[in-house]
C-alpha cells in the first residue's frame, strides 16, 4: 500500500485479529494492577522483559504506534484504528507496563515538544519496546503543586547539572528514561522558571531508592539527583518555558488510558474498567445472584460504567472540537477516580469473605481485598481528584481562583517551611 494511503478499518481489523490470535490469553492474575506485593523482583523483571518482547512483536507486525506519524516508526493511522486494535486484543496479553507513562504522557510530550533529533532517536525506540519511560514529576515537597518543583538544573556550558529529589515514580527501578521538570530560574515567578529535561535513569549521580509500602510492594521509588550532568540536547522545549510543556504534560497525564496512543485491550482492568458484567461474574461465583442487595450493587456498577463511557466520549469530543477547554478533561478525571474507587468497594463487598482471603483457584472472587486496600490510589495517581475539582471550578466554570502567595513574586522569595529545601541550600 502506498505510504500516503490510509489503510481501511476492515483491512486493519483483519491484520489485528490475525496478530491477536497468536497471543496468549490473560489470566485474572496477569490483569492485576501494579503496586502489588505478590511478585518477586525476578518475576517482575521477567514480566517487564516479556512486555518489551510483546511490544517488539506489535512493532514487527506494523501495529505499534497506531496514531504515531510514520516518519517516527508509527503507523500514521487514526484513533478509530487504535480502537479496532484494542477491541481485537480483548482478553489477550499486552505490554501493560509500557502504556502509562511511556506512551502517555512521555511519548505524547516528546511528539509535541521534542526536537526532530530527539523524536527520531526516541520514538522508534519506544515503539520497539527498547525504551521504557517514567515521569519525574512529584517531589517530597510538592505533588499537587507540581509547578513548585525544587529540583534545580544549572547551566554549565553545553551541559546542565541537576540536583534534587523526585518521588512516587512507579517502576523507576526497571525503567530506562525519565522525563523531568526542574527549576532553572529562581528569580522568575513559580511557573516562569521551569524547564523540562530527559535523561537515562541509570545516569551517574542518580540514585534510585525503592519505597516499601505497607502491603510489601516496592514498586514506588524515590530518586536522588546529585550533580547529574546532562547535555543541552536533553532539554525539551525552551529554557524557563517548562510550564508550557508542563501544562500539556498534565493534560496528557490526565488522559491516561484514554489516550489514542495507548494500546489496551477492551475490558482490561478490574474495577477501573469493570462494568456490571465484572460484578455479575463475582456475584455468580459467590452464589449471590438472587440476593437483592447484590443485584442493586451490580446495577450501580453498570450505571457507573455507562455514565463514565458516555462522559469520556462527550468530553473527548468537546475538547477535540474546541467547544470545551483542555482542562475539561478534569471532569472525566474526577468522575473516573471516584467511580473506580466505588467500583472496587462494590467488587469487594460482592466477593464477600473470599475477597479478603483467597487462593488463586478462587477465580473471580480472588484478589479483591488487595484492590480494596489500594482503592484510593485511583483518586491520587495522575493528580488528585481534589485538584481536578479545583481545575473544574477555576478553569472550566471560571470561578474565582484560589488565593495564592507565590504567583507573581520571584520563586526565591516564596516562603517555604523550614524543613523544605530553599534556593540557597
Ligand atoms: C498509583 C500512583 C502512581 C504514581 N506515579 C507517579 C509517577 O510515576 N511519577 C510521579 O512523579 N508521581 C507519581 N505519583 C504521585 C502523584 O502524582 C502524587 O501523589 C499526587 O500528585 C499528589 O501529590 P502528593 O502526594 O504530594 O500530595 P499533596 O500534594 O501533598 O496533597 C495532599 C492532599 O491535599 C490535597 N490538596 C493539595 N493541594 C490542594 C489544593 N490546592 N486544593 C485542594 N486540595 C489540595 C490533595 O488533593 C491531597 O488530598 C503517583 C501516585 C500514585 C498514587
Residue of 381, 385, 404 to mutate, ligand 1, most atoms within 8 A of C-beta: 381
As given in the structure block, the three cell numbers for residue 236 are 525539551
Residue 239 confidence class, pLDDT cut points 50, 70, 90: very high
Q: Does some domain include residue 113?
A: no
Which residue carries 526542574 as its cell?
Answer: 182
Cis amide prior to 178 (ω within 30 degrees): no
How large is the average pLDDT for residues 42-65? 97
* 100 touches 257 (CB < 8 A): yes
In sequence order, what DSSP letters do the residues of 5-49 get, joined into one string?
Answer: SPPPHHHHHHHHHHHHTTSPBPPTTTTS-SS-SSS-HHHHHHHHH
Which pLDDT score is estimated for 273? 62
Residue 73, in any domain of the structure: yes
Q: Is the pLDDT of residue 325 over 60?
A: yes
Cis peptide bond prior to 393, omega within 30° of 0: no
- Atom of ligand 1 minimally distant from the CA of 134: 8
**pLDDT of 422:** 46
> Given 130, 150, 185, which residue is the final one in a domain?
130
Does residue 100 have a pLDDT over 60?
yes
Domain end residue (candidates: 105, 130, 155): 130
Task: Summarize the confidence of residues 177-193 as an average pLDDT.
Answer: 97
CATH number, domain containing residue 81: 1.10.540
- Total-model pTM: 0.92
Per-residue pLDDT tens over the stretch 363-398: 889 889 888 988 999 999 989 999 999 999 999 999
Residue 380: partners with Cβ closer than 8 Å, 6 or more residues away:
none
Average pLDDT (38-59) is 94
Specify whether the CB–CB gap between 176 and 220 falls below 8 A: no
> Which segments of 64-117 are extended strands (E)?
none
Tell me the CA–centroid distance for residue 169 and ligand 1, in Å.
12
Q: Is the peptide bond before 101 cis (omega within 30 degrees of 0)?
A: yes
**What's the pLDDT at 425?**
41
Q: Which residue's C-alpha comes closest to atom 16 of ligand 1? A: 381
180-184, 269-273, 412-416, range with greatest mean pLDDT: 180-184
pLDDT value of residue 423: 45
| CATH label of the domain that carries residue 351 | 1.20.140
pLDDT at 290: 97
Assess whether the previous peptide bond of 235 is cis (omega < 30° from 0).
no
261: phi then psi, degrees, rounded to nearest 5: -85, -10
Q: How far apart are CA 105 and CA 20, in angstroms?
A: 26
Last residue of a domain, one of 108, 130, 152: 130
Can you tell me the mean pLDDT for 242-254? 93
Can you tell me which atom of ligand 1 is nearest the CA of 137?
11
Domain annotation covers residue 388? yes
Q: Which pLDDT belongs to residue 424?
A: 44
Segment 326-369, tens digit of pLDDT: 999 999 999 999 999 999 999 999 999 999 998 888 888 988 98
| Across 280-291, average pLDDT | 96
pLDDT at 334: 96
- Distance (Å, rounded) from C-alpha 300 to C-alpha 316? 24
Lining ligand 1 with CB less than 6 A are 101, 134-135, 137-138, 143-144, 168-170, 377, 380-381, 383-384, 386-387, 390, 402
Average pLDDT over residues 142-159: 96
> For all residues of the chain together, what is the average pLDDT?
92
Task: Tell how far the Cα of 160 is from the centroid of ligand 1, in angstroms.
Answer: 28
Number of domains in the chain: 2
pLDDT band at 403 (very low <50, low <70, confident <90, very high): confident
**142 Cα to the center of ligand 1, angstroms:** 8
Nearest CA to ligand 1 atom 25: 143
CA 208 distance to own-chain centroid: 20
The answer to whether position 54 is within a domain reads: yes
Q: Is residue 244 part of a domain?
A: no
Whole-number pLDDT of residue 418: 59
The backbone torsions φ and ψ at residue 179, rounded to the nearest 5 degrees and listed phi first, read: -110, 120
Nearest atom in ligand 1 to the alpha carbon of residue 382 is 17
191 in any annotated domain: no
C-alpha R_g of the chain: 22
Q: Which residue has the higher pLDDT, 14 or 423?
A: 14
Neighbours of 45 (CB within 10 A): 13
Residue 14 belongs to what domain range?
A: 9-97+121-130
Atom of ligand 1 nearest to the CA of 386: 47
Is residue 370 a part of any domain in this protein?
yes
Over 70: is that where the pLDDT of 419 sits? no
Q: Which three cell numbers stand for residue 367?
A: 484478589
What is the share, in percent, of the chain residues with pLDDT greater than 90?
79
Task: Please write the tens of the pLDDT for every residue from 198-217.
Answer: 999 999 999 999 999 887 88
Query: To 10 degrees, what angle do helices 242-255 and 329-351 make?
Result: 40
Mean pLDDT value of segment 39-68: 96
Within-domain flag for 383: yes
Amino acid at each position: 500500500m502506498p505510504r500516503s494511503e490510509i489503510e481501511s478499518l476492515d483491512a486493519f481489523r483483519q491484520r489485528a485479529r490475525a496478530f491477536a490470535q497468536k497471543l496468549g490469553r490473560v489470566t485474572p492474575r496477569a490483569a492485576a494492577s501494579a503496586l502489588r506485593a505478590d511478585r518477586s523482583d525476578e518475576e517482575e523483571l521477567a514480566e517487564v522483559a516479556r512486555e518489551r518482547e510483546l511490544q517488539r512483536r506489535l512493532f514487527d507486525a506494523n501495529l505499534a504506534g497506531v496514531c504515531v506519524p510514520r516518519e517516527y516508526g508509527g503507523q500514521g493511522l487514526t484513533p478509530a484504528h487504535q480502537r479496532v486494535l484494542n477491541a481485537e486484543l480483548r482478553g489477550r496479553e499486552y505490554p501493560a507496563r509500557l502504556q502509562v507513562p511511556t506512551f502517555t504522557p512521555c511519548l505524547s510530550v516528546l511528539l509535541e515538544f521534542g526536537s526532530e533529533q530527539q523524536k527520531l532517536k526516541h520514538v522508534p525506540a519506544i515503539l520497539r519496546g527498547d525504551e521504557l519511560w517514567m515521569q519525574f514529576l512529584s517531589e517530597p515537597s510538592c505533588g499537587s503543586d507540581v509547578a513548585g518543583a525544587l529540583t534545580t538544573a544549572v547551566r554549565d556550558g553545553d551541559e546542565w547539572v541537576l540536583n534534587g529529589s523526585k518521588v512516587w515514580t512507579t517502576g523507576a527501578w526497571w525503567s530506562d528514561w525519565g522525563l523531568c521538570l526542574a527549576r532553572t530560574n529562581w528569580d522568575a515567578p513559580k511557573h516562569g522558571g521551569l524547564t523540562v529535561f530527559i535523561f537515562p535513569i541509570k545516569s551517574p549521580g542518580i540514585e534510585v531508592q525503592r519505597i516499601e509500602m505497607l502491603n510489601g510492594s516496592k514498586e514506588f521509588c524515590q530518586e536522588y539527583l546529585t550533580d547529574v550532568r546532562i547535555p543541552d540536547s536533553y532539554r525539551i522545549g525552551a529554557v524557563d518555558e517548562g510550564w508550557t510543556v508542563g501544562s500539556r504534560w498534565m493534560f496528557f497525564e490526565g488522559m491516561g488510558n484514554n489516550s489514542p496512543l495507548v494500546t489496551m485491550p477492551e475490558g482490561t482492568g478490574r474495577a477501573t474498567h469493570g462494568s456490571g458484567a465484572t460484578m455479575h461474574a463475582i456475584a455468580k461465583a459467590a452464589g449471590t445472584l438472587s440476593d437483592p442487595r447484590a443485584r442493586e450493587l451490580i446495577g450501580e456498577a453498570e450505571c457507573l460504567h455507562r455514565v463514565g463511557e458516555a462522559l469520556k466520549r462527550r468530553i473527548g469530543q468537546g475538547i477535540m472540537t474546541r467547544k470545551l477547554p483542555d482542562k475539561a478533561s478534569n471532569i472525566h478525571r474526577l468522575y473516573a477516580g471516584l467511580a473506580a474507587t466505588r467500583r472496587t468497594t462494590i467488587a469487594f463487598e460482592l466477593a464477600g469473605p473470599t475477597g479478603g482471603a483467597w487462593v488463586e483457584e478462587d477465580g473471580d472472587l480472588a484478589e479483591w481485598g488487595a484492590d480494596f486496600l489500594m482503592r484510593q490510589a485511583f483518586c491520587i495517581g495522575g493528580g488528585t481528584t481534589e485538584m481536578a475539582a479545583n481545575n473544574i471550578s477555576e478553569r472550566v466554570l471560571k470561578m474565582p481562583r484560589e488565593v495564592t502567595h507565590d504567583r507573581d513574586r520571584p520563586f526565591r522569595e516564596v516562603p517555604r517551611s523550614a524543613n523544605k529545601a530553599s534556593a540557597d541550600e
